[in-house]
Amino acid sequence: MTLPYGKRTMTKNNLILGMALTDGYGNLRGAWRAPNVDPSNYVNIEANIRYAQAAERGKFAFLFTPDFPAVRADVERAPISNIIEPLISLTAISQATSRIGFVATGSTTFQEPFNQARQFKALDVLSHGRAGWNAVTTSDPAVAANYGRPVAERTERYQRAHESIQIVQALWGSWEKEAWIKDQASGRFADPSKLKPINLQGEYVASRGPLPIPPSEQGQPVIFTSGGPSPHLLSIAGRYASGFISEVWTIEEARAQRAMVRRAAEEAGRDPDEIKYIVGLMTTVAPSVREGLDRRIAIAGDTLTAQVPHLAAMLGVQLQHSQLDQPLTPEQLAAAQASPMDPRSGPALEVARQGWTVRDILAHGVIDYHPVTVGPAEVHADHLQEWFEAGAADGFWLSPDVYEDGVDAFVDHVVPLLQERGIYPTEYPGRTLRENLGVPELYGLDPRVTSGEDS
């Protein structure tokens, strides 16, 4: 467990971009039916490779694969929503790319730590230091049922998560930096004193080790986590994570969360700059806002207009379907109030006040998983810059509306603008994911982090 620190890239141009790889189509409802989209793309690794290569052209630091392994959606009308398998898909993509990193979601509840340690480190080694693990506890009952179990209590899930992550990190470090001699002349292959068992025994999981895989170019994979800032999750993030993937709708919310995440790292004895807070953003890049909205309406049409009642509730006004192509009346606008129950209500009200029709308000994506930006490059660049400079994010994970042309559009139009503004790198800072995130190398458990279990 030597050398916890390594070189560090920290410049002004350090806004981080990642991209979600989901179902092969895109994150706008109906993307699979868009005219230029092949409806088989859910299983076409070739399509995902194209998207990854486009993101790499745009110097994206990583691809991120969310994962809830179950059939969740209404499969009759909408695609099953995630990549068929994160590690297998990203491994295939690694062979067709050279710089972009791979943050694969992996459950601490439904995986054996030894298998997880092994597969992630294998990808790290064969991608030459580009792997990351988004460690989540997975609380979806449909997923649990696929493993023949009920969802465990949160305390149990997080206890197992601490144990799993510590075992995985210890296994990653069990082959130490100088262990591999491989001297053909003398015949010494490895130094057994630097390739040692870990002998970790938790309440839920255990492993003897060592893991017979040497360090990669970045030492070991980067740990991420994602979720809301509960004390349970913050304890995971603070101790182990170098990236935190979040879901927030406003700058204020993001700043508060980022501060909590950074404080958690500090409390675990780490430098808060070592954990990158990454917020979501869904993008539609188009020559103008009007054309962007039209694109969204053409693709997501019916599913947008079905949201009228939801919008009405968010704004506290009555909205009729017949009002779809009208803006809110002055009376409605005067009466409207952002619902405190839904953080998206404030941004939605702002859009309504700009005078858009109800259909266009919805086409702005005001009811979605993340903030949505629609329009020419400036709209997206302004959003990214504003959040970044406000200390609301260290980076963003983007979900393009339609992968087939949405990644290229962002890379060709928005990325150059970010580079001109001096907030985004023009070349990859390094060759490994850690270098491109600006987080230190690590071998094994971080010695600054107490190793006792937490509950």
What is the Cα–Cα distance from 20 to 60, expressed in whole angstroms? 11
Among 160, 232, 258, 296, binds ligand FMN (CB under 6 A): 232
Per-residue x/- mask for ligand FMN, residues 22 to 61, rule CB under 6 A? ----------------------------------------
Instruction: Fill in the DSSP letter of residue 173.
Output: H
Could you tell me how many residues of this chain bind ligand FMN (CB under 6 A)? 20
Whether omega before 425 lies within 30 degrees of 0, making that bond cis, reads no
Residue 306 touches its own copies, criterion: CB under 8 A: no
Among 4, 8, 13, 68, binds ligand FMN (CB under 6 A): 68
| Cβ atoms of residues 100 and 62 within 8 Å | yes
Residue 50 touches its own copies, criterion: CB under 8 A: no
DSSP string, 96-113: T-SS-EEEEEEESSSS-H
Q: Is 230 strand, coil or helix? A: coil
Query: Is residue 158 annotated as involved in ligand binding?
Result: yes
What is the Cα–Cα distance from 59 to 436, expressed in whole angstroms? 9
Residue 97 touches its own copies, criterion: CB under 8 A: no
Minimum CB separation of residue 41 from ligand FMN in Å reads: 20
Instruction: Give Cβ neighbours of residue 448 (< 8 Å, ≥ 6 apart).
Output: 4, 268, 269, 270
Minimum CB separation of residue 233 from ligand FMN in Å reads: 6
Q: Which of residues 182-221 bind ligand FMN (CB under 6 A)?
A: none
Per-residue x/- mask for its own copies, residues 103 to 122, rule CB under 8 A? -------xxx-xx--xx-xx
Helix boundaries (H) for 214-274: 231-240, 251-267
| Cβ atoms of residues 163 and 205 within 8 Å | yes
What are φ and ψ of residue 413, in 5° steps? -110, -40
Residues making up the binding site = 67, 105, 158, 230
Residues in the annotated binding site for FMN: 67, 105, 158, 230
Q: Residue numbers of the site for its own copies (CB under 8 A)?
A: 30, 32-33, 37, 39-40, 42-43, 45, 69-71, 75-80, 84-85, 87-89, 91-92, 94-96, 110-112, 114-115, 118-119, 121-123, 125-126, 142, 145-149, 182-184, 187-192, 195, 201, 205-210, 212-214
